[in-house]
Chains A and B, each alone.
Chain A
Amino acid sequence: MTRWAIALYESRRRVKGSLILAAAFSILSLVYMSMFPSMKGIEEDFLEAFPPAMLELLNMESFGTVEGFLAVEMYGIFWVVLLGIYFAYIGADSLAGDIQKGKMDLTLSCPVSRMQVVGEKVASLLVPLVVLNTIIPLVIYGSVLLIGESIDPEALIMVHLLSVPYLLSCLGIGVLASSLSDRSKTAGMAAVGAVFFFWLIEGLARVAGSIDWASRLMPAHYYNPNDILVHASYDGFGAALLMVLSLLLFLASMVIFQRRDI
């Protein structure tokens, strides 16, 4: 059996896109950080302009500190929602895209097992995960210093580290959708829709209070940038839960892919 050829080849194909994405996120974070000094003075007015439910939905707590600002703007929205969607999307394309363009036929005519194909394809999708979580914290740290503020490096590292299980679960949702479809677009829409919907449910259920339990069923519940950055409170158990969920999603995808017609 040939090992790691797929992972190696696919990883190489991911490098360019990952660097472009990291550059885009870097610019975005620089722009946001440059806005922070002017936001600081009008924090009260800004918060009052939002309905309280909105503040709670987005975990807006302390806009006046760098940590609070980052937790909402950078991590609460871009990391959890946009990046979550991105990983769901590339996961959804991974198998279905190859089937759609006929590449899977060639892959499976090589001495590789189907399980291995799923495993190595998933492994190659870790490239953007690693690239983003290496470059972005450095950029954020630098830009915080640049505007004359400071941030606890440990919290910054943790907000990235603990985002890994969450983003993996989004990837898992994507790969599962991919294993069920032979059209990249269909799988992508299903996975992206699911990740966004889960995020929305998590927030709405939490705000509504009475159906708080529903919030706890959603992956986004176990990654709270606000708690990490503002309170330095790390939810290790939540991260472990997300890791288990991700592994189950990958495993389910393997089992489905193993049995299906290509």
Chain B
Amino acid sequence: MTAMELKGLTKDYSGFRANDGISFSVRKGEIFGYLGPNGAGKTTTIRQLLGLLTPTAGTAVLLGADIRDERQMVEARKRIGYLPDNMGFDDEMTGASILDYYGMMRGDGRREELLELFNPPLEKKVGDYSRGNRQMLGIIQAFMHDPELIIMDEPTVGLDPIKQEHLYELLQEERQRGKTVFFSSHVLNEVQRICDRAAILRQGKLVAVEDISLLLKKGGKAVWAKLQQPSELDRFITPEMKVTKKDEDSVHFTFTGANDDLMAHLSSFRLADINIGDPMLEDVFKHYYDDSGEGGQ
């Protein structure tokens, strides 16, 4: 069963192709990541899916509704929740009255339950909200009518780490309840953590649709190591490392092999300093997907 199917979705803006023939489908009951660097065209895709932008070519079907058919979409939107990247709430209204409004538009059966996870100050005017509080209010309005399909544009931006965790848990619970989640992100790590599959977008083109297990392998770890003996550096660097930057006594590299191997290798050298973290999305792209948009390696 598919919740969403994109068929050659294309969007041109005066001479600039923001989305170029994008096709993939999202199954019911999966968490699907839409991964790409800022400016790749993720928001353009999402805004077409909701019927805000008309595709230049191609189309998509959401919960059985063709995005180009407004009547079908009006019906389908009852079962869709949306968290935009820019929450356009009226600043002079309180959080409570904004939830009342969207509740009137779509229903708000799960409002109280969600307010236990996310607690923006409802009696305050939204104009006085912090970025995180705005985001929480947005999350509540997106979920409170218990939609079958939730579309989110960079949902964790502005959330503190605890609320991010709450959101990840909520998404996983939703999946267990058979709901479908589609969200865009430029953070590889969060997509790896909670998604089942991800589509990767680069410069408006779909680069790959991957299972997360594969993406995990491709992502690897970003390592920076500084040696006590600069003369050992050449011996330190192995063919498995994808070196991104090298100085006389230190090296930045991406390692996609087994973590144990990495640790064993590191411990066999005397290190002055070390940092192991998640690679930048652009670095992963550089290594695995060349500029032509074909999958590399």
Contact = CB atoms under 8 A, between A and B. Distances in A.
Contact of B105 (A102, A111, A114, A259): A111
B28 interface: no
Contact of B90 (A103, A105, A259, A261): A103
Contacts of B52: 104-105, 108, 261-262
A105 B89 CA distance: 10
Contact of A13 (B47, B70, B80, B92): B92
Nearest to A1: B74
Given A113-B74, A261-B53, A106 B104 contact: no
Nearest to B84: A105
A8 B103 CA distance: 13
Interface string A61-77: 00000000000000000
A110 interface: yes
Given A13-B90, A105-B84, A5 B74 contact: no
In the complex, which range does the number of interface residues on chain B fall in? Answer: 20 to 34
B271 interface: no
A261 B70 contact: no
Given A1-B74, A101-B88, A103-B90, A108 B51 contact: yes
Interface string B246-271: 00000000000000000000000000
A110 B90 contact: no
Which of A1, A6, A111, A112 has the largest number of chain B CB atoms within 10 A?
A111
A213 interface: no
A1 B71 CA distance: 10
Contacts of A104: 52, 88
Nearest to B87: A102
A146 to B, nearest CB: 36
A112 B104 contact: no
B197 to A, nearest CB: 24
B275 interface: no
A109 B82 contact: yes
Given A108-B52, A109-B50, A2 B105 contact: yes
Given A111-B106, A112-B74, A259-B54, 5 more contacts: A5-B101, A6-B105, A98-B88, A112-B105, A114-B70
Interface of A: 1-2, 5-6, 8-9, 13, 98, 101-106, 108-114, 258-259, 261-262
Nearest 7 pairs of A and B residues by beta carbon: A102-B88, A103-B88, A109-B82, A102-B86, A110-B105, A5-B104, A262-B52
